[in-house]
A = this chain, B = another copy of it.
Amino acid sequence: MRMFNCDYLEGAHEKILERMAETNYEQTVGYGEDGHCSAAAELIKEMVGDKDAYVQFLVGGTQTNMTILSYLLRPHEGVISADTGHIAVHESGAIEAQGHKVITLKSEDGKLSAKDIKAFVKTYWADETADHMVKPRAVYISYATETGSLYTKEELRDIRKVCKKYDMYLFLDGARLGYGLMSEKSDLTIRDIYELTDVFYIGGTKQGALFGEAVVFNSGICHKEFRYYIKQKGGMLAKGRLLGIQFETLLEKDVHGDCLYFRLARHADELAMKLKKGISELGFELYSDSYTNQQFFILPDKLIKKLSRKYSFSTWAPMGDGRTAVRICTSWATKEEAVDALIEDMAKAASKLGIK
A-side residues, CB < 8 A to B, are 1-3, 5-6, 8-12, 14, 17, 20-21, 23-30, 59-64, 66-67, 70, 74-76, 78, 89-94, 96-102, 128-129, 131-135, 205-206, 210-211, 225, 227-229, 231-239, 241-242, 315, 333
Q: How far is the CA of A30 from the CA of B131 in the complex (A)?
A: 13
User: Contact between B10 and A92 (Cβ–Cβ < 8 Å)?
Assistant: no
B29 touches A5 (CB 8 A): yes
Q: What are 30 A-B pairs with beta-carbon distances under 8 A?
A: A6-B30, A8-B239, A9-B27, A9-B28, A10-B25, A10-B27, A11-B26, A11-B239, A17-B21, A21-B21, A25-B333, A60-B237, A62-B231, A62-B234, A75-B97, A75-B229, A76-B225, A90-B132, A91-B232, A92-B131, A92-B133, A93-B101, A96-B99, A97-B99, A131-B227, A135-B225, A205-B238, A211-B237, A211-B242, A233-B233
Are B62 and A236 neighbours in the complex by a CB distance under 8 Å?
yes
Report yes or no: B12 in contact with A232, Cβ–Cβ below 8 A: no
Q: How far is B21's CA from A21's CA once the two chains are assembled, in angstroms?
A: 10
User: Contact check: which of B10, B66, B131, B206 meets A225 at CB < 8 Å?
Assistant: B131
Copies of this chain: 4
Listed from nearest, the 3 A-B pairs whose CB atoms lie closest are A63-B234, A76-B228, A11-B24
A132 touching B25 in the complex, CB below 8 Å, given contacts A76-B228, A234-B233, A238-B8: no
Interface centre among A27, A67, A234 (most CB of B within 10 A): A234
Closest CB in chain B relative to A320 CB, distance in Å: 12
Give Cα A21 to B19, complex, Å: 12
- Report whether A96 and B101 are in contact in the complex, using a CB–CB cutoff of 8 Å: yes
Which residue of chain B is the closest to A6 with respect to CB atoms?
A: B30
Q: Are A234 and B67 in contact (CB under 8 A)?
A: yes
Q: Are A90's CB and B238's CB within 8 A?
A: no
CB contact between A238 and one of B78, B206, B229 (< 8 Å): that residue? B206
Complex contact B75–A239 (CB within 8 A): no
